[in-house]
Every structure is written in structure tokens, then in C-alpha cells.
Structure 1
């Protein structure tokens, strides 16, 4: 009998390239790159979630109080110790991406942006099923090399008034 989880088969490892802000009122786009490939998985997310991911990518931990993913990371650490988990972007349903957080025997529903922020905080892998990448992945000739610099510029340009109660991703 196979005890592996259905998500364990046919998975693609993803690298977090960064966040692209297209401008104006547009939501930021989380760019996930297929490891060893030339396809991107773009996921539109909220501004608050983009800032949380940006903080993890820049290693700038200047936040005085913990953010939500910091709190969840601490709770996981308290209950699971140094257990390894992962964030899985599971599917896209009616234009909305869905994700799961897997650690120990837990498999918890999450927004992709929260799952990625948590994975970055804890050093976990980010994955998606190959079928999802085949369905919605975007083929690129050359991957952008300036994403982290653009993300830092984004962080330098935001302030508390930029964040709203939107729940995009």
C-alpha cells in the first residue's frame, strides 16, 4: 500500500523570484519560477502579503512586532520543533489559486501568499503539481534577474497608508 500523500507525486519545486508591482492600483504579482525550468507561476496577491514576502526576501527584519506569518512560524516551531514542512500551490479554481501548508501529519488550507511567506520564514520548499504548471505556467525566454532589487525598491516606497483590508491572495 502507498502511504504517500497525493501531493507527493508529480510535484514541481518552485523558487520565489520576487514580487512585481505593475503600477497604480494593480495588485502585486508573486512570481514563482519552476526550478531548473523556464516557466513562471504568477499569482496576484494583496499589498500586505507582498510586503510580508518582501521582508523575507530581503532579510531586513526591522519589524518591531511579529507579522501573522511570524506568529504562525513560532507556533509551528513550538509544536513541531524543527520539523520540515512545505507550501504547496495546489490548484487554480475559477481564477483563484489555492494552497496547502504541510508539516508533520497536518495538511492545512492556506492562501498562496500566506503559504509562501511562511515557507520563506521557515526555510521550507514551495511546490506545485506538474499538472498545474502545465495548465497555467507562463513560458519565459529569459528569467528576470532584477526581481529582488525591484522588491527592495517596492519596500522603500510603501508606507502604512498603502495597506488596506483587501483579501486578494
Structure 2
């Protein structure tokens, strides 16, 4: 089973100073933080803030290629979590046929934003993420509690 989610915010981890994409389900009850690299965060931030670049970025190029091939992004799915690494699948639709493409979650999210495609997370990923975070000690658990208790005014902008 998959849970539809939206990108809630893009922020910096106060402990590691690495970017975090925070996904939240549509009911607002579940969050999933995914740590991403700086370049990937910038690609996501550019689209969130609707900043145009003088030349197409990689994810813009992918969107243009898909459009040129009359292929639609059906959805993206954060599909697995192994050894603290998230995995994703981009589901493409071409001539009524679904095609799955293995992807890093950060790339899948950047493409979903550019193609206005839905974002899903497999229920097992949410469950395993909670289990692994409940086993963490100290700062990891503190960060999770902090993320879960954030209010609208607490969200700062990711600075590129």
C-alpha cells in the first residue's frame, strides 16, 4: 500500500548541516524526513521557488525529453529503505503502458515537482523509518521529535 505525500519543506538538519526534504501525508499526521545532498537540494529548491536558470538543469532536461517522447510521469514512489538509504521508483506512462525507472528519491522528487506528479511512499518505508528512528539514540530521536512538532511558522527556507 502506498501513502500519498507532499513536500512539506526543505530545510537544513541543525545537527549535520545537511539538507532534509520533509514529506508529509495529506492528512498531516505522518512525516518522512529524507536527507539529500546539497546539489539535489538545490535542484528541488529551484523548482519549489520557481527560479528559472539561464540553461536547463538536468531535471528540466528530463522533463523536456519526456514531453518530447509523449511520456507522462504517472507518479513517483519512495519504495524502500535499506541500511538507512531510501530508494525510489519513477513510474512513467507511455501509450497506456507503465514503465518503472529506478531512482534516487531526491531525483524522483525533483522530477515530480517539475511534472506536477503525485508523490507516494510505501507504507513499509514509513513503518521501517519509524522503527529505525525509534532505535536511534540522542540527537537522531530529538531531531525526529522536533520535525514532528514543527508549526507553519517554524519552517525556514532552504538557502541555496
SS in 2 for 1:124: coil
**Do 1:18 and 1:57's aligned partners in 2 also have CA atoms closer than 8 Å?**
no
Structure 2 Cα separation of the partners of residues 49 and 148 of structure 1? 19
4+ residue runs over 2 A deviation: 22-26, 137-144, 146-149
**Do 1:17 and 1:31's aligned partners in 2 also have CA atoms closer than 8 Å?**
yes
**Do 1:102 and 1:108's aligned partners in 2 also have CA atoms closer than 8 Å?**
yes
Structure 2 Cα separation of the partners of residues 115 and 66 of structure 1? 17
Is structure 2 residue 125 aligned with structure 1 residue 136?
no
TM-score (ref. length: structure 1)? 0.75
Structure 2 Cα separation of the partners of residues 147 and 59 of structure 1? 22
**Which string of whole-angstrom CA distances, capped at 9 and with x for unpartnered residues, describes residues 73-124 of structure 1?**
111111125x342111001011100001001121000000000000000000
User: How many residue pairs align between the two structures?
Assistant: 142
Structure 1 Cα separation of the partners of residues 5 and 13 of structure 2? 22
C-alpha spacing 1:141/1:71, structure 2 compared with 1 (3 Å): closer
- Name stretches of at least 5 consecutive residues in structure 2 with no aligned partner: 131-143
Shift in Å at residue 149 of structure 1?
Answer: 4.8
Alignment of 1:6-155 (within 5 A): 10-23=1-14, 26-61=17-52, 63-81=53-71, 83-104=72-93, 105-137=98-130, 142-146=149-153, 149-151=156-158, 154-155=159-160
C-alpha spacing 1:33/1:23, structure 2 compared with 1 (3 Å): same
**Do 2:48 and 2:113's aligned partners in 1 also have CA atoms closer than 8 Å?**
yes
- Name stretches of at least 5 consecutive residues in structure 1 with no aligned partner: 1-9, 156-169
**Do 1:89 and 1:100's aligned partners in 2 also have CA atoms closer than 8 Å?**
yes
Shift in Å at residue 64 of structure 1?
Answer: 0.5
Structure 2 Cα separation of the partners of residues 111 and 97 of structure 1? 7
C-alpha spacing 1:78/1:146, structure 2 compared with 1 (3 Å): farther
**Do 2:81 and 2:128's aligned partners in 1 also have CA atoms closer than 8 Å?**
no
Query: CA RMSD for the aligned pairs?
Result: 2.2
Query: RCO greater where, 1 or 2, for CA within 8 Å and sep 6 or more?
Result: 1
